[in-house]
Amino acid sequence: MFKNILDAIAELFASIFGRKSKPAPKPTVKPTPAPIENIPEDGSEIKPDTIVLIANELDHVDVKPNAPDVEFEHDIFDQPETPVTPETPVVEPPVVEPPVVVEPPHTETPKPKGRFMWCLDNGHGKKTPGKRSPIFDDGATQLFEYEFNRDIVRRIKEQLDKKGVKYFITVPEVDIDDFLEGRVNRANALQSDLPKIFVSIHSNAAPAATANSWAADSISGIETWFFHGSQRGQKLASIFQQHLVDNTGFKNRHLKSKPEGQFYVIRKTKMTAILTENGFYNNKKEAAELNKDAVRQKIADAHVAAILEVEENGL
Ligand SMILES: [Zn+2]
C-alpha cells in the first residue's frame, strides 16, 4: 500500500516535470485511488504513541432507547420503533379493552423475522499485504488473517441461517484486493427494513522484530473495539467481548476505543459498528490455537451467542 502511494507520487512528479532518466515501465497496477486518509484497518496497525482507551466490558452503559447519538453518523437507531404518541389529550379512553400485557406495542404490522440486519465483515482480502503469521516450524503452515476471518464468518453464517437471523456478508468474494472502502460502502448502501449492525471480524498482530518473526508470548487474547463515544457501540462490544472470553478462555483484553483516528470500518459505517480481534496470529502459541477447528468454532459460537442475545434483548 505504502509503496503504491510512493509509486503514485513518483508518477505524478514524472508526469509534471518529465522523466530525467530511465523511463519507468508502464504501470500495470490500477491507478492508486485517493488515499483513505491514514486510518488504520485493525488493531495490528496502531502506532505505539496512539491514545487507546480501555473499558471494562462489565461497565454499565446507559443507552437511552430513543435518544439519538446525533454526533455519530453511524448510530441510526434514532427513531423509536413505534411513533411517539402525540401530546394532544386522548378524548375517550376505551373501556372494554383489557389491559395490555407486556407485549411490545408493534404487533399490528407483520414484522420480518429477526430484529437487526447483521453486516458481517470478514476484514481483509486474499491480496491484502501482510496480515499473516510467520511460517510455523514445519516449514509450511502459515495463518493468513483473511482466511481465518472468512472461516469464522462462514461458521457464523451457518448458524444464523438455522436461526433465521438476517445477515449480509460484506465481501463474499475471496480473490479480492485491499477493499477497505468497498466493504464499508456495501454495508452503507445495503437496503434493509431492519436496523443494521456492523461486525468486523479479525485476528490481531503484536509488534515483532520482522514480519517473519513471532511476537512476544506475553501478548495474547481477545479485544473488541467500538466507535469512541458511542454508547450503543460500547454496549454491543461488551456483549461480544463477554461471550468471546467466556467461550474461548482466551485472555481478556477488554474493550478498546480511540478518541482519534478510529478504524476505517468503525468510523465510516453509518450504523453501530464493532471490530473483534480474536487472538494474535503472530503469537506462536495462540496462532496454533487459532488454526484448530474446535477453537475457531468456539470463536464463531461466541459471535453467534452475542448476536442472539442482541436479537433477543435489543440494543
Ligand atoms: Zn485485521
Place of cell 420503533: 81
Same domain, 218 and 269: yes
Do the domain assignments include residue 92? no
Contacts of 271 (CB under 8 A, 6+ apart): 74, 75, 76, 119, 187, 188, 195, 196, 197, 198
pLDDT of residue 63: 83
Query: How far does the centroid of ligand 1 lie from the alpha carbon of residue 177, in Å?
Result: 14
Q: What is the DSSP letter of 309?
A: H
Q: Running along the chain, 315 residues long, what does each successive block of 10 average in pLDDT?
A: 50 47 44 57 82 89 64 41 41 54 55 84 84 93 94 97 96 80 93 96 94 93 96 96 98 95 91 97 97 98 98 94
Expressed as residue numbers, the domain containing 192 is 53-62+111-313
Give φ, ψ of 120 to 5 degrees: -95, 125
Do the domain assignments include residue 286? yes
Q: What is the pTM of this model?
A: 0.76
- Which residues pair with residue 132 across a beta bridge? 144
Q: What CATH number does residue 292 fall under? A: 3.40.630.40
Query: How far does the centroid of ligand 1 lie from the alpha carbon of residue 41, in Å?
Result: 7
Query: How far does the centroid of ligand 1 lie from the alpha carbon of residue 94, in Å?
Result: 57
Instruction: Say if residues 205 and 282 touch (Cβ distance below 8 Å).
Output: yes
Our count of domains for the chain comes to 2
If we measure between CA atoms, which residue out of 253, 104, 222, 73 comes closest to residue 152?
222
Query: How far does the centroid of ligand 1 lie from the alpha carbon of residue 303, in Å?
Result: 16
| Rounded-to-integer distance, Cα 196 and Cα 183, Å | 14
Query: How far does the centroid of ligand 1 lie from the alpha carbon of residue 281, in Å?
Result: 10
Instruction: Say if residues 124 and 172 touch (Cβ distance below 8 Å).
Output: no
Query: How far does the centroid of ligand 1 lie from the alpha carbon of residue 195, in Å?
Result: 25
Same domain, 17 and 57: no
pLDDT of residue 39: 72
At position 104, the amino acid (one-letter code) is P
Same domain, 30 and 146: no
DSSP string, 95-155: SSSPPP-SS-S--SSPPPSSS-EEEEE--S-TT-SS-BPPPPTTSS---BHHHHHHHHHHH
Do the domain assignments include residue 99? no
